[in-house]
Amino acid sequence: MINYRNKVYSASILLIGLIVFSVGEIKAQESSKKEVVISKDLKWSERMALSIIKRAPKAWQIDNNEKPKWDYKLGLVTMSFEELYKKTKNPAYLNYAKEYGETVINSSGEIMNYKLEDYNIDNVNAGKILFDLYKTTKDNRYLIAMQTLRKQLETHPRTNSGGFWHKKIYPYQMWLDGLYMGAPFYARYSTEFNKGKDFDDIAKQFEQIQLHTIDKKTGLLFHAWDESKQMPWANKETGTSPNFWSRSIGWYMMALVDVLDYMPKNHPKRKELIRYLNEISTAVAKFQDPSGLWYQVTDSGTKEGNYLEASGSEMFVYAFAKGVKKGYLPSSYKKLAEKGFEGLISKLVTVDADGEIHITQVCASAGLAGNPYRDGSYEYYIKEKIKVDNSHGLGPFILAALELEK
């Protein structure tokens, strides 16, 4: 009995010790988190990056995710960290992306929660981070993962006119979002591993969007096109969805300026893509609010329920600024980009006492069809959830700030 009691007593002491240690560790972590002060002397790009790290020490924790996953939004954010590293040479930013890569791609190059047979073009986007990770680490897992994503594009279902379906579950549909999800990865892979042989096909993706989604009245692009014209949201004559969503147009414009980074200067389709960029930029500029920002439903201004939306505005700023820097757009767009960024800071960014910054009024998500059904109506776009610090608004903020050296 004595031994039994001693064991129980010892076990109790050990348990109490573990609890005290755990509580102390948690408090230390909380204290450490609170003690991080983000200097207002830093540029906005770094202030945002450090704020993200403070809230989500690991990239997969962004958006309050409960477990790691391969995800286009997390790919967007970590890719912006890679770009920030190139500017600052601060290894903390590269390591943030690297840790994410190591978490979602195992040593054999298998991608977490990825199924090629889903043929989801969104799943290609995070592949953009793999090029730099492979170059800096020489870890073969990243090459294998890139090859897997490229293999998806080889057999990805297409419209009869040659455009990638947005997803297997959305047959014969092209969404503006999909151009950003697939084309820049496709272009860089072609340049680095396939001797630039794919640019005719890459240009075709943009040609299909221009041919089928442009609105002749405004010059804006509708969110999506259904070649079959079978979806209830599709115009029975044109196949287009009924409204203009700023973020979808932003995805498309970012795709253009990013693909042009890799498209050979002597390629016959290069001028065509630059023309597309100028045309959509002209249209988008007409709808810039006096605040410098753009509305969720691009052409509807102050119509009841419409609001100035962060992510689409950031994407327009990025595309304008980069377009000017690269010589694709007239210099006047630099002023529009500056005005847009000033609007973001004055209207949509909040700053805590410790310097942590937040981006407000980010549309959490928007799409078409699915379950529950999304009809693409004006009411649908304005009623989707609006969030603070949603990942859609984090990566583009950093990218826009970098282009403007803010």
Positions of E strands within 155-212: 173-175
The amino acid that residue 154 corresponds to is: E
Spell out the SS3 assignment of 199-235: HHHHHHHHHHHHHHHECCCCCCECCEEECCCCCCCCC
How far, CA to CA in Å, does 126 sit from each of 67, 105, 186, 188? 17, 11, 12, 13
Query: What is the rounded CA–CA span in Å between residue 166 and residue 178?
Result: 6
Distance CA 114, CA 227 (A): 27
Contact 382, 305 (CB under 8 A): yes
User: Rounded CA gap, 301 and 287, in Å?
Assistant: 8
Identify whether 177 is a catalytic site residue: yes
Q: Which of 300, 293, 144 is nearest to 220 (CA)?
A: 300
What is the number of alpha carbons within 13 Å of residue 22 lying toward its C-beta?
6
Catalytic residue, candidates 71, 122, 132, 177 = 177
CA distance 19 to 7: 18
Q: Among all residues, which ones are annotated catalytic?
A: 177
